[in-house]
């Protein structure tokens, strides 16, 4: 589970733990938060470990998955939640900005998926597995609506999330039936840096949605559990967005 130390990633990691999963809690800079998530998971009786990596660095990803393999031996579910959320006017996007955003939001999920494949295969060989051994592994990629609707000021971010959505479909087709690959697309759940819960701008963001409010991390986590469990679903983007995608203009 990438980006699992805080915010949505933390909520998803804890929901997986409550559902009976052992969890590798990846972090980049939020080590203390990741260790707190691990402590909560262990208190639930789950095995958990905090593993650090900068996912823009392929060598870090290799090391992360080597650690994961030696610590857990196999993998059933990969959740790609780590991401950046950078704003820039299109005219100001430098190639370094483009590469950095694409590296974390699109390339890292691909590399994590590739490095998960031998761990998915290893999971069925683990001792003690009696039922479900042939159930497909599950990959869940966290997108956002910028991957479907152009948001002003988020061209590189939106292109990275669009790439992630298409990667999801390509991987779902190519890796079936052994691996299911789905995307989860939240609407406004937690305010981005610069906005806070209770802030009038954030409140207004919820009020304009068809369902009239922002979402809760637990609602995203529930949807992750659905995608992890439902063995007849692959290649979809599940929108958990209070109906935001129905608004003709999307974001400003
Ligand atoms: N929050 C929302 O309302 C919302 C709405 C729509 C979609 N989403 C999507 O849902 C996912 C989780 O959202 P969030 O708001 O919880 O995300 P976030 O707080 O913006 O970022 C999640 C984590 O990504 C990690 N990260 C960033 N750059 C990294 C790098 N180079 N290498 C490794 N890790 C890196 C960070 O880990 P460290 O803290 O350890 O550095 C961070 O905690 C994201 O994919 C986001 O696009 C969220």
**Mind listing the pLDDT tens digit for each residue in 129-155?**
555 557 999 999 999 999 999 999 999
For domain 7-246, give the CATH number: 3.40.50.720
**CB neighbours of 25 closer than 8 A, spacing ≥ 6?**
1, 4, 5, 13, 34, 37, 38, 41, 48, 49, 50, 51
Which is nearest to 8 in space by CA: 37, 48, 49, 42? 37
Strand partners for 240: 186
Note the Cα 157 to chain centre separation in Å.
15
**Average pLDDT in the 232-241 region?**
98
Residues with CB under 6 A from ligand 1: 3, 5-9, 27-30, 54-56, 81-85, 104, 142, 144, 186, 188-190
Instruction: Looking at the CA of residue 56, tell me the nearest atom of ligand 1.
Output: 31
CB atoms within 10 A of CB 128: 4
Ligand 1 atom 7: the closest Cα is on which residue?
144
- Cis ω for the linkage preceding 245 (within 30 of 0): no
pLDDT at 167: 99
Q: How confident is the model at residue 198 (pLDDT cuts 50, 70, 90)?
A: confident
Model confidence at 67: pLDDT above 70 = yes
Q: Distance from the CA of 229 to the center of ligand 1, in angstroms?
A: 23
Domain ranges of the chain: 7-246
**CA dist 232 → 1, 135, 179, 248 (Å):** 22, 10, 11, 31
**Average pLDDT in the 10-19 region?**
98
pLDDT at 70: 97
- Contact assessment for residue 48 and residue 17, using Cβ atoms and an 8 Å cutoff: yes
Instruction: Looking at the CA of residue 2, tell me the nearest atom of ligand 1.
Output: 34
Model confidence at 92: pLDDT above 80 = yes
**CB neighbours of 174 closer than 8 A, spacing ≥ 6?**
none
Model confidence at 249: pLDDT above 90 = no
Joined together, the tokens standing for residue 247 give 């608004």
Which is nearest to 216 in space by CA: 239, 187, 183? 187
Model pTM?
A: 0.96
Instruction: Looking at the CA of residue 220, tell me the nearest atom of ligand 1.
Output: 10
């Amino acid at each position: 589970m990438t980006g699992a130390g805080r915010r949505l990633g933390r909520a998803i990691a804890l929901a997986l733990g409550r559902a009976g999963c052992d969890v590798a809690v990846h972090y980049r800079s939020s080590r203390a938060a990741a260790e707190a998530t691990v402590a909560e998971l262990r208190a639930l009786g789950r095995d958990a470990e905090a593993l650090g990596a900068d996912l823009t660095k392929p060598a870090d990803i290799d090391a992360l998955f080597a650690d994961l393999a030696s610590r857990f031996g196999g993998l059933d579910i990969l959740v790609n939640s780590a991401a950046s959320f950078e704003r820039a006017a299109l005219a100001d996007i430098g190639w370094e900005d483009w590469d950095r955003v694409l590296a974390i939001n699109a390339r890292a999920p691909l590399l994590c998926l590739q490095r998960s494949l031998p761990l998915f295969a290893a999971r069925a060989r683990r001792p003690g597995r009696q039922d479900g051994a042939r159930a497909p592994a599950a990959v869940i990629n966290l997108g956002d609506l910028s991957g479907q609707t152009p948001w002003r000021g988020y061209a590189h971010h939106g292109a990275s999330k669009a790439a992630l959505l298409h990667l999801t479909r390509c991987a779902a087709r190519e890796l079936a039936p052994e691996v299911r690959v789905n995307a989860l697309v939240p609407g406004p759940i937690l305010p981005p840096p610069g906005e806070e819960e209770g802030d009038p701008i954030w409140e207004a963001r919820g009020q304009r949605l068809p369902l009239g409010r922002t979402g809760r991390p637990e609602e995203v986590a529930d949807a992750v559990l659905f995608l992890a469990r439902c063995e007849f679903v692959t290649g979809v983007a599940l929108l958990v967005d209070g109906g935001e995608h129905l608004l003709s203009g999307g974001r400003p």
